[in-house]
Structure 1
């Protein structure tokens, strides 16, 4: 194995995001990246215990410990409970982790923050380039409202749409958008209600709409995705970026330098 090669493992390889990450790694040439491990739940393994990767079959395990010597960075899009378990293992074995899981409790977020003092972590509710550009635009537009003393004259609503099997409501991305607005308002010592509205229907990939309504006018910011490719691509880019980091907690803003 090339000593400069980044060895990846994917948690939830049979899930929606896992399959998209696998597809990208199978179809795009990345000489410095190798998928070297995959884990899934035991129930999922009954249906599929191997994956086809680069003309080879890669065996899937149900326990991260079973592949601990075969990867440098774990990409995890599972669920809060599983991710926290994987995080503790990564800490014990000094492995880096890219976390795309959402729906963490306050206590779980504190655990992630504490463990980031020992290992390098990227935590993001959304890995697409577009949504991270939107977050920056949102920061700027909210700042303009506050500087012009319009903060109390504007109603702000976030409408998010996802597939009907998505568990957390509102979405992690919607909460990230809301937090950007609230943090800017706090700079100007103003508290603002930002309402989130969630739609869960069919197989929607994801749409986020931020609506600023004031007398006689509306400003609407919309981000849509037509597939999960951008999320999967972003998570791989994040893993490559994280490879040189020793400790700390990072976001896609760090990766994309927005």
Structure 2
């Protein structure tokens, strides 16, 4: 893995023709601190943002030739684990925004982090990072308040609730000792009065909505609503590239986007 403070990050991108892969390539060509040396996709694809796209099946072999400092991955759980294994073999840092992993998949990913620096985040928006901190503070300041979490995404999103919503729920449960994943209630139907110790969780899918997350707290004749709306996927691409630049050259280990935010 070749790194240097004065030279641009040598970047590889997986899932290059996907929604986020395209955004990452578009964002990378506009940055002076990043140069794309490898991009792969599972189906044959014309160049994107002037970058030639190689077959995903050749990823492991091409890593040695391209010599990237870091890989940015937005694909699917199975693909990400394959790419992570290749990164471990080639000693290349990995940044992934893939969500929807099983517990076994996450365990495998964490095992990879014992060999190379690996940064996983459900969301690379600095606004979401700020929202999560505000949610933790609000939940701490309003003990016992009812909490509802709602997320809305485009009609093609597979996992529900979103990875970001899961992260927000974990934040809430970390600061509310009376709540746990077992207390999550996903939607309501029929005779379903609200219990005092529960978190309502709602996932909506419609149109081309990029991403919206809302946390509602209510009690004591008052409500607090904390909301984040994404207007462009470029926000996530920029954050992922910031993470890659930050991660390259670090010690092997498990990192989060909060680490990037805290240091910058």
The answer, yes or no, to whether TM exceeds 0.5 is yes
Shift in Å at residue 2 of structure 1?
A: 8.9
CA contact (8 A) 2:152 2:211 kept: yes
Tell me the distance in 2 between the aligned counterparts of 1:85 and 1:39: 13
Q: Does 1:140 align with 2:137?
A: yes
Question: What SS class does the counterpart of residue 51 from structure 1 fall into?
Answer: coil
CA contact (8 A) 2:26 2:49 kept: no
Shift in Å at residue 118 of structure 1?
A: 1.1
Aligned to 2:203: 198
Tell me the distance in 1 between the aligned counterparts of 2:237 and 2:49: 18
Q: Does 1:60 align with 2:58?
A: no
Tell me the distance in 2 between the aligned counterparts of 1:114 and 1:20: 29
Structure 1 residue runs of 5 or longer lacking an equivalent are none
Aligned to 1:103: 100
Tell me the distance in 2 between the aligned counterparts of 1:183 and 1:213: 19
Aligned to 1:165: 156
CA contact (8 A) 1:51 1:60 kept: no
Aligned to 1:7: 10
Tell me the distance in 2 between the aligned counterparts of 1:220 and 1:2: 43
Residues 240 and 2 from structure 1, CA distance in 2 versus in 1: closer, same or farther, beyond 3 angstroms? closer
Question: What SS class does the counterpart of residue 56 from structure 2 fall into?
Answer: coil
Residues 101 and 2 from structure 1, CA distance in 2 versus in 1: closer, same or farther, beyond 3 angstroms? closer
Aligned to 2:261: 256
Tell me the distance in 2 between the aligned counterparts of 1:74 and 1:237: 12
Question: What SS class does the counterpart of residue 55 from structure 2 fall into?
Answer: coil
State the TM-score, normalizing by the size of structure 1: 0.88
Residues 190 and 19 from structure 1, CA distance in 2 versus in 1: closer, same or farther, beyond 3 angstroms? closer
CA contact (8 A) 2:153 2:204 kept: yes
CA contact (8 A) 1:161 1:207 kept: yes
Tell me the distance in 2 between the aligned counterparts of 1:254 and 1:99: 14
Tell me the distance in 1 between the aligned counterparts of 2:79 and 2:220: 47
Aligned to 1:92: 89
Question: What SS class does the counterpart of residue 19 from structure 1 fall into?
Answer: helix
Tell me the distance in 2 between the aligned counterparts of 1:112 and 1:29: 29
Tell me the distance in 1 between the aligned counterparts of 2:3 and 2:169: 43
Question: What SS class does the counterpart of residue 160 from structure 1 fall into?
Answer: strand
Shift in Å at residue 7 of structure 1?
A: 0.8
